[in-house]
Amino acid sequence: MAAPRTGPSAGPSVKWRLTSSFPKSLDTIYGGAEQLADRLRELTGGKFDIRVFPAGEIVPGLQAMDAVQQATVECCHTASFYYVGKDRTFAFGTTLPFGMNARQTNAWMYYGGGQQLLDEFYAGYNFISFPGGNSGTQMGGWWRKEVNTVADLKGIKMRIGGLGGAVLSELGVVPQQIAAGDIYPSLEKGTIDAAEWIGPYDDEKLGFYKVAKNYYGPGWWEPSTCLQFFVNKKEWDKLPKEYQAAFKVAAAEANVTMTAEYDHKNPTALGKLLQNGVKLKPFSKEIMDASYTAAQKIFADESAKNPAFKKVYDSYTKYAKTQRAWFAVAEMPMDVFNQAHR
Amino acid sequence: MAAPRTGPSAGPSVKWRLTSSFPKSLDTIYGGAEQLADRLRELTGGKFDIRVFPAGEIVPGLQAMDAVQQATVECCHTASFYYVGKDRTFAFGTTLPFGMNARQTNAWMYYGGGQQLLDEFYAGYNFISFPGGNSGTQMGGWWRKEVNTVADLKGIKMRIGGLGGAVLSELGVVPQQIAAGDIYPSLEKGTIDAAEWIGPYDDEKLGFYKVAKNYYGPGWWEPSTCLQFFVNKKEWDKLPKEYQAAFKVAAAEANVTMTAEYDHKNPTALGKLLQNGVKLKPFSKEIMDASYTAAQKIFADESAKNPAFKKVYDSYTKYAKTQRAWFAVAEMPMDVFNQAHR
């Protein structure tokens, strides 16, 4: 039953479906799409009504983009890097190993031409995109055994996908594709040796600490993980201008508040994990350096053979370099000092 | 002349005035209020129409809050810490010396009860607030001479206000209140020895580097500077729910995009400054440590005599501590590693 009209809007009734790549249990991420839909109804007196479906109800989570491309649904909430199997250029919408942090990513997307470059690429897939939430730097996952050297990585079966998996594969890791619900039993049985997921809040809920005590950080394959709303271009063009503005502004709100929500939830969850005997460890310098070098090789190889990748990579890396030169002056020294005094 | 109505909205016509604490020349900050107003017109087919006035046209910049309190205007765009002369509790809406960074501030405001605590305090002044843009960590200003030790600070006349000025005053600095337009000539003549302003983008435009070559960082008195929209509570309550939602979401958008815009603009401006022979320097550990200690003393003294301050301070500092414990695990090590490899 629709809520009674109490507000002033008198726009056309527009009913859309949004397929999320995520289950409801990932409440912070899934909630970003619900927040967008709620806000759009609020802004339009219920007239622009997007129904949000969890992964699997309309299409599987990893086919959300295809559903938008084919106009099975008007829009989705996903992570572009799920589609690197089609083209590695899809990585940039979400993150890159050793890439920019959340603030730098927003700067590139909103002002540095990033979103525009991506939309040019996405035009071949019939959709446009909006940043729609960022988790910040993720964790380096749960490991049954300690790893200190690159030699320790040899033969490790790890649940990890995308470019992070490709990089680790250069170091001898055997990446595994495993759905969320199967990670815990696989870790428990020892079918896999390690698994990366998200960060303390989501990881704690899945209980990985019970079967793999070593929790590594940082998840250098996701220095910040930007989710996106993808909207079918033809459906977008049909929207009244007010509804386009409403979608855009609601996506920006979801973008900033998801980061804030994760930042709010993760510290408490981290505390719980530590109380449960989790061994928090930084990746060794040897592993970080080797991963960094392997990542650069993959980027160079891909740039040499994929002009679409090269075009976005050149913009991204140049931007990252100038961002870091500035962050080194004020933001980082401030953070470092405050950390030393906490 | 109003733009022709092309959209679907049919809400009541609401005309508000917003007084900004800032001049148009501070285009990134001033632009945050214009962006909000533009977005509200877009969302409502021009019906919710806020006219933005620069500082001085309706009231002087530092009286923006009073104008909202007295309903001279319906809303303003300001920095709450301009009003610490009335009550130091006004600091928290903007920043605290050695306080949280922009992301942590957003987490506290949106999810950590920060905005709610502030609005309880602001109720005594007849308004409610929304975060409306954050510059990130600001710079430590322009100094005619090098300062390396606390002894070097003795007698330094510096353009700095608020709690930062109070802290530096403990170390022998003589804080000066000087309007933006008077900083350059005062530095040039040597009437003052140092002046803090914002960061590379805004500082470069005012040309301070021509008369004071030493540019220090970080501006520990503003680890992140959150601007706010203040809205008179009675006027807010009169708004249709759609317009309230529109204001709230547009403020959130302005909040995230202003940070992105500053992050985008500052690196280029920093490059220009360096080309112009600016000497970029970090504050010495001695000065940072002494400033930190002086700040803690001021917070303790104020907490002892001001229950309103204590209430918010306790929430803020507890929150900062848990935020930092988490940022130390993933976000910071990632940033530090990436900085080392840029």
Residue B272 sits at the chain A interface (C-beta within 8 Å): no
Alpha-carbon distance B309 to B127, whole Å?
Answer: 18
Could you list the mean pLDDT of each consecutive 10-residue stretch along chain B, which spans 342 residues? 46 96 96 98 96 97 97 98 97 98 98 98 98 98 98 98 96 92 94 97 96 98 98 98 97 98 98 97 98 98 98 98 97 96 87
Q: Give average pLDDT by consecutive 10-residue segment, chain A, 342 residues.
A: 46 96 96 98 96 97 97 98 97 98 98 98 98 98 98 98 96 92 94 97 96 98 98 98 97 98 98 97 98 98 98 98 97 96 87
User: Residue A9's pLDDT is what?
Assistant: 59
The alpha-carbon gap from A60 to the nearest alpha carbon of chain B, in Å, equals 30
> Is B220's CB within 8 Å of A334's CB?
yes
Task: Give the minimum alpha-carbon distance from A137 to chain B in angstroms, rounded to a whole number.
Answer: 5
Which of A43, A104, A197, A318 would best serve as a mutation to test chain B binding (most B beta carbons within 10 A)? A43
CB contacts of A245 in chain B (<8 Å) are 39, 42-43
So what's the architecture of B12-136+224-264 in CATH?
3-Layer(aba) Sandwich (3.40)
Out of A6, A10, A263, whose CB is closest to B323?
A263
**Mutation choice for A interface testing from B6, B106, B249, B273 by most A CBs within 10 A:** B249
Q: Determine, for residues B335 and A241 on separate chains, whether the beta-carbon distance falls below 8 Å.
A: no
Contact B218 A329 (CB under 8 A): yes
In chain B, which among 114-143 make CB contacts under 8 A with chain A?
A: 136-140
Beta carbons of A334 and B223 less than 8 Å apart: yes
By C-alpha distance, the chain A residue nearest B288 is A337
The pTM for the full model equals 0.96
Interface test with B, best of A264, A289, A315 (most B CBs within 10 A): A264
Q: Please, which residues 206-265 of chain B have a Cβ atom closer than 8 Å to chain A?
A: 217-220, 223, 240-243, 245-246, 249-250, 252-253, 255-257, 259-261, 263-265
Tell me which residues of chain B, numbers 149 to 188, contact chain A at a CB-CB cutoff of 8 Å: none
**List of chain A residues whose C-beta atoms are within 8 Å of the C-beta of residue B225:** none
- Inter-chain touch B333–A218, beta carbons under 8 Å: yes
CB pairs under 8 A between A and B: 266
Give the closest-approach CA distance of A190 to chain B in angstroms.
26
- Residue B218, preceding bond cis, omega within 30 degrees? yes
DSSP state of B9: B
Residues of chain A neighbouring B259 (CB-CB closer than 8 A): 103, 106-107
Pair type for strands B75-78 and B14-20: parallel
Contact B22, B59 (CB under 8 A): no
Alpha carbon of A44: minimum distance to chain B alpha carbons (Å) = 7
Written as six digits, the tokens of A313 are 């990579």
Residue B267 and residue B287: Cα distance in Å, rounded? 26
Chain B contact set for A240 (CB, 8 A): 7-8
Residue of A nearest to B46 (CA): A242
Is A245 within 8 Å of B98 when comparing Cβ atoms? no
By CA distance, what is B256's nearest residue in A? A256
- 8 Å CB contact between B22 and B79: no
Tokens of B168: 């530096």
Question: What secondary structure, in 3-state letters, does chain A show?
Answer: CCCCCCCCECCCCEEEEEEECCCCCCHHHHHHHHHHHHHHHHHCCCCEEEEEECCCCCCCHHHHHHHHHCCCCCEEEECHHHHCCCCHHHHCCCCCCCCCCHHHHHHHHHCCCHHHHHHHHHHHHCEEEEEEEECCCCCCCEECCCCCCHHHHCCCEEECCHHHHHHHHHCCCEEECCCHHHHHHHHHHCCCCEECCCCHHHHHHHCHHHCCCEEEECCCCCCCCEEEEEEEHHHHHHCCHHHHHHHHHHHHHHHHHHHHHHHHHHHHHHHHHHHCCCEEEECCHHHHHHHHHHHHHHHHHHHHHCHHHHHHHHHHHHHHHHHHHHHCCCHHHHHHHHHHCC
- pLDDT at residue A337 in the model: 97
Q: What residues of chain A lie within 8 A of the CB of B49, using their CB?
A: none
How far is A160 from A154, CA to CA, in rounded Å?
A: 15
Burial classification of residue B137, based on how many CB atoms lie within 10 Å of its CB (0-12 exposed, 13-18 middle, 19 or more buried): buried
- Of residues B109, B136, B324, nearest to A338 (C-beta): B324
Q: Where are the domains of chain B?
A: 12-136+224-264
Q: CB–CB of B11 and A8 under 8 A?
A: yes
